[in-house]
Each structure stands twice: as C-alpha cells, then as structure tokens.
Amino acid sequence: MNTEKLEDAAATVIIGLKVLPGLEREYEAWQQGVNAAAAEYPGYLGDEIARPTSLQPDWVVVYRFDSIAHLQAWMNGATRQRFLDIGSKYFDGPATQQVVSGRTQPMDPLVTVVVTHRVHPNQVDDFLEWQRQMNQEESKFEGFRGTELFRPIEGLQDEWTTLYRFDNAEHLDAWLTSSTRQKLLAEGRKFNDFKLRTIDDSFGSWFAFEENGKEAPPPSETKTAIAVWVGLYPTVVLLTLALSPLKMPLWLGLLVGNLLSSFIMSFLTMPYYVNRLLKRWLRPSPDESAAKANLVGLGIVAAVTVFWGVVFYLVTTQIWTLP
C-alpha cells in the first residue's frame, strides 16, 4: 500500500485497554470525554467503545477519520495527550493500538482478528511470502471471509498489521487452534514477535477492507435469489407432503406452512444445505475466475433442481398422490 493511496483512504485506529478493577465507571466517563474531544478534530468520522467480552478480553476503542493525516493529528495532538495524562490512573498497563486504512463498505457483522508484527527491513520479502502462505491456508477453513495486510505507517505505527475475518467465533477458533496454523507459525518462527487481538461482531462495518483486498464480496441479489429458490423448493414440497394428512383449509395450511418454512429455511435449509452446497459460487475464492465460479455454481443449481424435480415427481405420482 503506497503513501499516496493512504492519504486518500479513511483511517481506523483500534485501541485496546485493560482497566483496573473497580474503576470501570470512572474510566468510561473519562473515555466519553476523550471521544467528545476527538469529534472536534478535522476529518473525524466516528468512534465506538466496547466493554470486554468472553471473546474480547480488553476494552476496545475505535476512532475513524477520513485520512491518515487527520488521524495522526488527533493521535499525536496535545489534546489527546492531556487526556492520557489524566486517565493514566485508570489503566492496568499500557494500551495497544493498530492502525488500518481502507475505504468504508457495508458488510455483515463478523469476528475480526487484528495481528501486528514487527519485521526487520531485511526480512520484509520473507515476511510477505510467509503471509501469503498463511492467507492461502486460512482461506480453506470454514467461515473464512477475507484478509488484508497493512504496511507500517511512518510517524504513527511501526508494525505490519493484518486483519482477517471469520463468520463466527467457533470457526475462528478452529483456525487459531489448528495444526495447520501451528505448523506455519513454526516455519515463520522469526516472525513470532506478534500481538493478536480478537474483535467481536459488535463493530460491524468499522473494519472495511481495501477495494483491492482479499475480501470476497457479498453475493449479488441475483445469486441470493437463486440460492433461496434452491432451498425453498424442497422445503415447501416436503412441508406440503407432511401437512397434507391434516387436511387443513387452504388459508390455514398456507399460514402454518409459511411459518414453518420460514423457520426451517432460516435455521436448517440455508445454513446447512444451500450455503454449503453453493459456497464456492456464492463466495468464490479471490484467485478463481468469475466465469469458472459461475459455471460451476449454475451447474450445481441445475443438477440439484433436476434431482429434486425427479424425486418429487416420483413421490407425488408413483408413491403418494395428494388429495
């Protein structure tokens, strides 16, 4: 990421804090004052504060500015330094911070992991190759949603920062504790001077990847509609067959059937059938051509549709005749 691009991009700083027990209320009131002061600075776009959770052990504060320059003015400014002098009595150790820069784009709430590495200038090429291998392997794990690597920012941050996301904490933990990751960490032992922070999904779209990053874009409306149709057809037919012995009037049968199909689609059909079946098409790998992904996806859709069509034709005409 070059300097010119950084200057044009919005900038986010993620600050982690441990607060002394019993001083949480005082700290939170102090932090609100800091945030109000930040809002007066040029380029301010917003801030957010999150209490510790089981997934996120520290207090986390996020500031977003419209450029690195404006963020730097706030972070290094006299106003913030005065607040830090006053608020130091609330902290249990020094704060940590990571800065990332990217254009804001809407995205689903995901679990975000922030990793910072100190890399010797002579080892940058080796580090980038190691990161490439790490990203290639983590992208194979279920729930992976994207990654982005940010270079150090002169005058603000000396470390390399990596963001990667998973759709939930369970899938993230599967990657973090995997033998694959442990093997890669062992191979990149000289880069093991790193800090890792997990940010839960309450921050939503705060951590936006670059447009040219490795985040797989959300499925298009057309893909989403087709995916819902793939799941809806067998769900509705099976429900119709299951409810037909009750011989309910049309208005009541549709009412009950629609209610049940909504729950079944939300909790069973979509997550455990459609999303797994069409994963490669709905969220193709960044390295795969769009044409190939679409060809494979539409082929699966056609095959599944023919399969269910044949099954239900045989069931309703040869095995079970509806009243």
Q: Using alpha carbons, list the distances in angstroms from residue 260 to 10, 130, 178, 191, 196.
A: 44, 49, 38, 52, 43
Q: Which residues contact 161 (CB under 8 A, 6 or more apart)?
A: 98, 99, 100, 114, 115, 116, 117, 149, 150
Each residue's pLDDT tens digit, 52-89: 877 677 888 888 888 888 888 888 888 988 898 898 89
Each residue's pLDDT tens digit, 110-151: 677 878 888 888 888 898 889 888 888 888 888 887 777 777
Each residue's pLDDT tens digit, 268-317: 888 888 888 888 788 776 566 778 888 999 999 999 999 999 999 998 88
Q: Which residues contact 205 (CB under 8 A, 6 or more apart)?
A: 104, 105, 106, 107
Q: Using alpha carbons, list the distances in angstroms from residue 246 to 234, 238, 253, 323.
A: 20, 14, 9, 11
Instruction: Point out the least confidently predicted range of 2-16, 91-105, 297-311.
Output: 2-16
Sign of torsion, CA 272 278 280 284? negative
Specify the CATH architecture of the domain 3-206: 2-Layer Sandwich (3.30)
Each domain of the chain, given as residue ranges in start order, spans 3-206, 221-319
Closest to 278 in 3D by CA, of 299, 261, 254, 257: 299
Chain centroid to Cα 310, Å, comes to: 39
Strand partners, 12: 64, 100
Q: Is the pLDDT of residue 201 over 60?
A: no
Higher pLDDT pick, 93 / 106: 93
Q: Using alpha carbons, list the distances in angstroms from residue 263 to 87, 186, 270, 294.
A: 49, 45, 10, 29
Question: How much is the pLDDT for 45?
Answer: 85
